């Protein structure tokens, strides 16, 4: 049994299927199935029950999983410690970031990063789901949070690196049909607002207006709201990052609110990539 076998256990438990675990680990389906069977044979126990809903972990798998997670973290720390002794950092760095920040903030700066760290392979996952850096689901997370709210796990280090503004945007075609709201916006009477959910700032901003817009469409995440606004379906409250420079959108309000931008690295990443 090796540390890679434990990764198989954890991935199958998380994904609930061989196929999902194979995608997570970037392995062949047959490889994951074979190694899981080998692990069960080595331990002499069944780790998963096959059901119509997928693979369900047995009590034994649930009991082993916390220890497997600790061992996985220890192996990762061992590799990081060895890498930190090198004058030239190398190996993969996994970065978890939202699609908006990845496209308009991170990727344009990657040439400088690659020049600084030529031996590092960057693995960027642009997704809206949150990863846990203390469990090494990513080496670095870049997150946006409303002011006053904690952006990180209690045991993680978080560094505030800036703010991201949000404003109301609409397509020229929509504004030609419905008119431009007066500045500053106090009324959106006769307009449609593209909602991004009750948690998002757009809905709260609209609700406090003297005459709010009607909510006829709700989408998630911001990238879909932007696509809906570009299609002329209504006004959307979007990050100014990427929207201000989009020729298919016009800003129809000042900055409505801001979100703090944080970088949350693992301690091992700080050690291995420090100049």
Tens of pLDDT, residue by residue over 154-201, are 656 778 878 889 999 999 999 999 999 987 788 999 999 999 887 778
Angle between helices 29-43 and 3-15 (to 10 degrees): 110
Partners of 159 in the β-ladder:
263
pLDDT of residue 271: 47
Q: Are residues 168 and 235 in the same domain?
A: yes
pLDDT of residue 270: 45
Token look-up 């590092």 returns: 120
Confidence of residue 110 (pLDDT cuts 50, 70, 90): confident
What CATH number should be reported for the domain holding residue 106? 3.40.190.10
Q: Are residues 128 and 174 in the same domain?
A: no
Of 32, 60, 84, the one marking the end of a domain is 84
Q: Are residues 11 and 33 in the same domain?
A: yes
Q: CA nearest 242: which of 94, 108, 78, 45?
A: 108
pLDDT of residue 231: 97
Q: Are residues 99 and 72 in the same domain?
A: no
Backbone dihedral region of 257: left (phi > 0), alpha (psi from -120 to 50 degrees) or beta? beta
Using DSSP's 3-state secondary structure scheme, residue 94 falls into strand
What CATH number should be reported for the domain holding residue 52? 1.10.10.10
Using DSSP's 3-state secondary structure scheme, residue 139 falls into coil
Average pLDDT over residues 77-106: 73
Q: Are residues 8 and 114 in the same domain?
A: no
What does the angle CA 261 – CA 264 – CA 269 come to, to the nearest 5 degrees?
A: 140
Q: What's the domain range around 193?
A: 164-258
Q: Are residues 169 and 254 in the same domain?
A: yes
Average pLDDT over residues 268-275: 49
Give backbone dihedrals phi and psi of 146, rounded to 5 degrees, phi first: -60, 150
Q: CA nearest 159: which of 167, 168, 147, 151?
A: 151
Distance, in Å, from the CA atom of 175 to the CA atom of 133, rounded to the nearest integer, reads 43
Q: Mean of the per-residue pLDDT values for the chain?
A: 83
Q: Are residues 198 and 220 in the same domain?
A: yes
Q: Are residues 158 and 172 in the same domain?
A: no
pLDDT, one tens digit per residue, over 122-161 is 889 888 777 877 777 888 888 888 777 766 666 567 788 7
Distance, in Å, from the CA atom of 74 to the CA atom of 88, rounded to the nearest integer, reads 22
Q: Are residues 182 and 253 in the same domain?
A: yes
Question: Beta strands 54-57 and 48-51: pairing type?
Answer: antiparallel
Number of structural domains the chain divides into:
3
Question: Beta strands 250-251 and 120-126: pairing type?
Answer: unpaired
Of 62, 84, 106, the one marking the end of a domain is 84
Residues 6+ apart with CB under 8 A from 12: 18, 20, 21, 32, 36, 47, 48, 55
What does the angle CA 124 – CA 126 – CA 132 come to, to the nearest 5 degrees?
A: 80
Q: Are residues 115 and 191 in the same domain?
A: no
Q: Are residues 102 and 222 in the same domain?
A: no
Token look-up 């090494």 returns: 136
Q: Are residues 34 and 57 in the same domain?
A: yes
Give backbone dihedrals phi and psi of 207, rounded to 5 degrees, phi first: -65, -30
Of 49, 84, 119, the one marking the end of a domain is 84
pLDDT, one tens digit per residue, over 215-252 is 989 998 888 999 999 999 999 999 998 999 999 999 99
| C-beta separation of 17 from 52 below 8 A | no
Angle between helices 3-15 and 18-25 (to 10 degrees): 120
CA atoms within 13 A on the CB side of 168: 28
| C-beta separation of 252 from 170 below 8 A | yes
Q: Is the pLDDT of residue 121 over 70?
A: yes
Distance, in Å, from the CA atom of 265 to the CA atom of 139, rounded to the nearest integer, reads 6
């Amino acid at each position: 049994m090796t540390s890679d076998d434990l990764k198989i256990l954890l991935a199958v438990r998380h994904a609930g299927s061989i196929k999902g675990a194979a995608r997570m680990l970037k392995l062949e389906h047959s490889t994951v199935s074979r190694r899981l069977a080998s692990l069960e044979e080595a331990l002499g126990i069944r780790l998963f029950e096959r059901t119509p809903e997928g693979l369900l972990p047995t009590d034994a798998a649930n009991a082993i999983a916390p220890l497997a997670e600790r061992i996985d973290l220890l192996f990762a720390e061992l590799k990081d410690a060895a890498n930190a002794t090198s004058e030239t950092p190398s190996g993969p760095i996994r970065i978890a970031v939202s699609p908006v920040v990845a496209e308009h903030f991170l990727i344009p700066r990657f040439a400088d990063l690659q020049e600084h760290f030529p031996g590092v392979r960057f693995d960027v996952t642009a997704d809206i789901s949150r990863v846990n850096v203390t469990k090494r689901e990513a080496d670095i997370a870049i997150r946006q949070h409303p002011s006053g709210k904690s952006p990180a796990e209690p045991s993680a280090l978080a560094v505030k690196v800036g703010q991201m503004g949000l404003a109301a945007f609409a397509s020229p075609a929509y504004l030609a049909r419905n008119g431009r709201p007066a500045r500053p916006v106090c009324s959106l009477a006769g307009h449609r607002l593209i909602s991004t959910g009750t948690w998002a700032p757009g809905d709260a901003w609209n609700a406090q207006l003297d005459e709010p817009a009607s909510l006829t469409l709700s989408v998630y995440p911001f990238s879909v709201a932007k696509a809906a606004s570009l299609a002329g379906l209504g006004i959307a409250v979007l990050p100014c990052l990427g929207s201000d420079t989009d020729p298919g959108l016009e800003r129809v309000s000042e900055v409505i609110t801001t979100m703090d931008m944080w970088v949350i690295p693992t301690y091992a990443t700080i050690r291995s990539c420090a100049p």
